[in-house]
Amino acid sequence: MLTRLRPIFALFVRSLREQSRAKFTPLARGSLALLLLLFIAGNERSFTHRTAPGQQVLILVVMVNFFAIAIFGLSTFASAITEEKEDDTLGLLQMTRLNPLAILLGKSTARLCEGLLLLAVQIPFTMLCITLGGVSMDQVLRCFAILAAFLFFLCNIALLWSVVCRRTARATAMTVATGIAFYVMPLFLFSIALASSFGGRSTPSWIESVVQYWIGINPIFDLTRSVLPRGGLPFAADSITTSLIGGMICFGLAWLLFKPCCNSSREAIPQAARKAPASGQRTPRGRPGRRAIAWKDFHFLGGGKRGLLIRTAIYVLMALLLVWWLATINRSALRSREVGVMFWVFGVLCFSVEFGLVSARMFAAERKRKTLGVLYTLPNGTGRLVREKILGGLPQLLPSAALAITGLFMIFNQPDFRNDLEFTPEFAAGLTLIVSGYVFFAVLVMYLSLRMRRAPFATGLCVIVLLWIVIAFSMDGLGVRGSEVAQMLTLSTVAWICTLLLASGIPHRIAVAAASE
């Protein structure tokens, strides 16, 4: 019996060994432990002024873990099978004794176990919340059980789309769309139902029950209800059971769809032959011109003009949906300032996400296709290579930036806002901090993409948060107090220094990555 099961878990055991011996694993666990200790140290001075300081620390820890799971899960789990499809190595795996179940366990469940271990390493430190007061051991264990169940569901739903889709980007997009449909859309439907009830229109009871159930199984509300029993959502349900059942269903579907979606003969055809145009077929992209690398990134990574039009259409559609939702729940005439604030917040959020993804994809795509060495041998220099890569990625940010600028224009167009607007030193220091933060984040993600195969965007975001917390606590502990302008300028200076240090190391990392091909 054990001899028959050994081939099923062979790839799983090998993947676990590789992940446990990697350099990133102990760094990640140590960073999580340091982050927890910083949370406790940052709230130490206010413990005497609160009735239940343990609740504040616990809710902060579980929320940070929830969003970290979402970001790392989208960056890691969605590439479980698609990375083999993109490298044309899935056919080689199927030629061995590995069946579909063994491949799924080895490629996805091993990453799930690594994520569960990252959660488990935090439990002993989180038990300090019990000593601080306000929470019990059952609450702490239940919060981590909710996070583990959510991690299980996210891993398997990303695995399902990784089996169905051909590319990692499409699998990630479909996983995000599924998460929005499960956890975000019910909130909009609930707000519309409440607005209809206040407006005198009744909603069918079964629709209200379905919407309340889908809101109740949201892990965020379940975590809030577990930490704050009296302050959570009234109809919050048990999300653990739903996440576990949903994860098992997704894993079963991935197992059933593995052969129809992954048994194709495309791996036997060379990549160049598959993409080569037919004889007599004219390419619609024109000629590259003097900036060939920027032209290549704009057309092949960003989709060219067609991709730009698709992004613009998506953002326009989302903006119209937001306006319709705001008009529905307001039940009154829309004001330009409210719409502008919504456009600005949504545009900045989308711009930040696209900014990080573009920065991560600049060199990660070249490393995946093993073309970085060819680019490095061109007689242009590393500086021009980086500049043209940046120039080719900037057009992808235009739709989200246009949405944010439209929102700012609608806000500034209000007479009362223009009268109150003053360009104070605080405004200038805040703008400097924002610009330095974006530049530092882009350079950090570009540097990490040259050192890591997976999740440079998520790792860069976590490094930014951890560095910001360390700097804030260090300034507070050393007694560096002063005006807000001085603090923001200090953070901006630190960001620029870190940016220069990382930027000076990018050429060396490009040379190392190019030589490794």
Concatenate the DSSP letters of all residues of 123-188 into one string.
HHHHTHHHHHSS--HHHHHHHHHHHHHHHHHHHHHHHHHHHH-SSHHHHHHHHHHHHIIIIIHHHH
Q: Is 251 left (phi over 0), alpha (psi -120 to 50) or beta?
A: alpha
pLDDT surpassing 50 at residue 1: no
Three-state DSSP at 23 gives: coil
**Distance, CA of 139 to CA of 135 (rounded, Å):** 6
The answer to whether position 285 is within a domain reads: no
Residue 490 resides in a domain? yes
Same domain, 331 and 449: no
20 vs 366 pLDDT, higher one:
366
Query: Which residue in the block uniquely carries the two structure tokens 């004219």?
Result: 282
Q: Which is higher by pLDDT, 406 or 411?
A: 406
pLDDT at 5: 55
Dig out the tokens for 305 from the structure. 């003009």
How many structural domains comprise the chain?
3
Higher pLDDT: 24 or 341? It is 341
Q: What region, left, alpha or beta, does residue 479 occupy, with left being phi > 0 and alpha being psi -120 to 50 degrees? A: left
Q: Are residues 404 and 514 part of one domain?
A: no
- Shared domain for 20 and 160, answered yes or no, is yes
Q: Angle, to 10 degrees, between the axis of helix 239-262 and the axis of helix 219-227? A: 150
Both 1 and 65 in one domain: the answer is: yes
Q: Which of 404, 421, 438 is the last residue of a domain?
A: 421
Top pLDDT among 94 and 152 is at 152
Q: What's the mean pLDDT in 231-247? A: 76
Q: Are 156 and 243 members of one domain? A: yes
- pLDDT for 289 beyond 50: yes
Quote the pLDDT of residue 458. 79
Which structure tokens are listed for 436? 């330095």
Residue 443: pLDDT band with limits 50, 70, 90? very high
Residue 379 lies inside a defined structural domain of this protein: no
For residues 91 and 72, membership in a common domain is answered with yes
Contact present, 413 and 336 (Cβ < 8 Å): yes
324 and 397 belong to one structural domain? yes
Residue recorded with tokens 């059971």:
241
Closest CA relative to residue 59, chosen from 203, 231, 209, 253: 231
In a domain, 90, yes or no: yes
Q: Is the pLDDT confidence value at 273 over 70?
A: no
- Domain-located, residue 189: yes
Structure token digits, residue 162? 């990784």
Q: What is the DSSP letter of 121?
A: T
**430 occurs within a structural domain:** yes
Lowest mean pLDDT among 155-164, 230-239, 278-287, 433-442: 278-287
Q: Which residues fall within 8 angstroms of residue 323, CB to CB, at 6 or more apart?
A: 334, 339, 342
With vertex at residue 473, the alpha carbon angle to CA 467 and CA 479, rounded to the nearest 5 degrees, is 135
Confidence bin at 11 (pLDDT 50/70/90)? confident
Query: If you average pLDDT over every residue of the chain, what do you get?
Result: 78
Q: Give the integer Cα–Cα distance in Å for 173 and 159.
A: 13
- Residue range(s) defining the domain that contains residue 403: 291-369+393-421
Greater model confidence, 284 or 368: 368
**pLDDT of 449 above 60:** yes
Asked whether the beta carbons of 473 and 41 are under 8 A apart, the reply is yes
pLDDT at site 278: 47
The yes-or-no verdict on residue 372 having pLDDT over 70 is yes
- pLDDT by residue (tens digit) across 140-195? 899 999 999 999 999 999 999 988 888 887 888 888 888 888 888 877 777 777 76
Do residues 129 and 140 lie in contact, with contact meaning Cβ atoms separated by under 8 Å?
Answer: yes
**Structure confidence at residue 153 (pLDDT):** 92
* Position 506 pLDDT exceeds 70: yes
440 lies in the same domain as 348:
no
CA dist 352 and 448 (Å) reads 17
440 pLDDT band, cuts 50/70/90, is very high
Q: Which amino acid is at 372?
A: L
Residue 281 has what pLDDT? 47
**Is the same domain home to 439 and 479?**
yes
Among 235, 268, 301, identify where a domain stops: 268
Residue 237: phi and psi, rounded to 5, are -105, -175
If asked whether residues 188 and 101 sit together in one domain, one would say yes
Do 223 and 88 lie in one domain? The reply is yes
pLDDT band per the 50, 70, 90 thresholds, residue 2: very low
Dihedral, CA of residue 398, residue 402, residue 403 and residue 406, to nearest 10: 170
Whether residues 184 and 153 share a domain: the answer is yes
pLDDT of 272 reads: 43
Q: What is the pLDDT, as a whole number, of residue 295?
A: 86
pLDDT at 42: 64
Residue 24 located in a structural domain: yes
Is the pLDDT at 205 greater than 50? The verdict is yes
* Long-range contact set of residues 30-36: C-beta below 8 Å, sequence gap at least 24: 31/462, 31/466, 32/118, 32/121, 32/122, 33/121, 33/122, 33/125, 34/466, 35/64, 35/466, 35/469, 36/61, 36/122, 36/125, 36/126
